[in-house]
A = this chain, B = another copy of it.
Amino acid sequence: MLPVIVHSVNELRAMLPENKHVALTPTMGALHEGHLSLVRHGRQLADINVVSVYVNPLQFGPHEDFSTYPRELEADCARLENIADIVFAPNDAELYPLPQTVTITLPPLADELCGRSRPGFFQGVATVVCKLLNCVRPQTAIFGKKDFQQLFLVQLMVAQLNFPTKIAAMPILREADGLAMSSRNAYLTSDERQRAVLLPNALRTAAAAITAGEKPTTAAATVRQQLQADGFVVDYVECRNATTLTSTASGDIVLLVAATLGQTRLIDNIEIRCPNAAKRELA
């Protein structure tokens, strides 16, 4: 069965009885297997499995790819056959009938990592996620770990604003060669697509070195040098505490990268279990 497409908030609410388990996977569409793995998780949990498809203008900067971001609702619905019940695809006038003057403010972490080169990005994400949670009222909302910082900030928002929604965090899905799946991979030329694998390869090598005892800062510096040598423009390469996303050197580590190849900004990360990390410098 194909999912039912719903454009209006009121229609959507009328279709969601209050005593059913509703799961929500928020997406911007252009769905790939990574998204579908989240939706399949929702299918296992929920009586009613909802996928939102909305390219949220609030999270794009003025020079970013809002206008060219792929929009392919019909193909997305076909991909969701038999795994989603409802596709919630509001238009801008439905979700932002007036200029959005009420927004979610996040802690300074939202201005670090991806937030440094994308000012306002996480505030835009948090605001639309807040709206979507209130439209759908899911018991569970499902996010992927590829957007690690986004996942962290959404979990923080849900906890601090007491949303009655459980956030499910799902592992990164990768192509056969190791590149993390992303809708933006479609922007890569075939030459760039081949070279893109150097990004996850560098992360894996660094993770192995850290596990073997290398200082995280040294490993991160090596990743940066490698990527620059391979023609990437590096935005950041950073080791952070995997639980708090601070630079506090205790507990498990996550190594996060953002880098541009040609016109395409890629992000990726790898978690590193570090039983002895208390002794290691992160920054």
Contact = CB atoms under 8 A, between A and B. Distances in A.
A105 B107 CA distance: 12
Interface string A160-187: 1111100000000000000000000000
Interface in A116-174: 126-127, 130-132, 134-135, 137, 156-157, 160-164
A193 interface: no
B161 A102 contact: yes
A37 to B, nearest CB: 27
A19 B131 CA distance: 22
B156 A134 contact: no
A105 B126 CA distance: 12
A104 B102 contact: yes
A64 to B, nearest CB: 22
B9 A162 contact: yes
A98 interface: yes
B102 A164 contact: no
Given A9-B162, A161-B134, A162-B134, A101 B18 contact: no
A246 interface: no
A278 interface: no
A100 B134 contact: no
Interface size class of A (residues with CB under 8 A): 20 to 34
Contacts of A132: 162
B102 A156 contact: yes
A243 interface: no
A131 B135 CA distance: 16
B160 A102 contact: yes
A6 B136 CA distance: 27
Contacts of A13: 164
A226 interface: no
A9 B19 CA distance: 20
A159 to B, nearest CB: 8
A163 B131 CA distance: 7
A104 B131 CA distance: 13
Given A18-B18, A102-B161, A135-B164, 5 more contacts: A101-B107, A102-B160, A131-B160, A134-B161, A135-B162
16 contacts: A13-B164, A19-B19, A100-B160, A102-B105, A102-B106, A102-B157, A102-B160, A102-B161, A103-B104, A103-B105, A104-B105, A105-B105, A131-B162, A132-B162, A134-B164, A137-B137
Interface of A: 9, 13, 18-19, 95, 98, 100-107, 126-127, 130-132, 134-135, 137, 156-157, 160-164
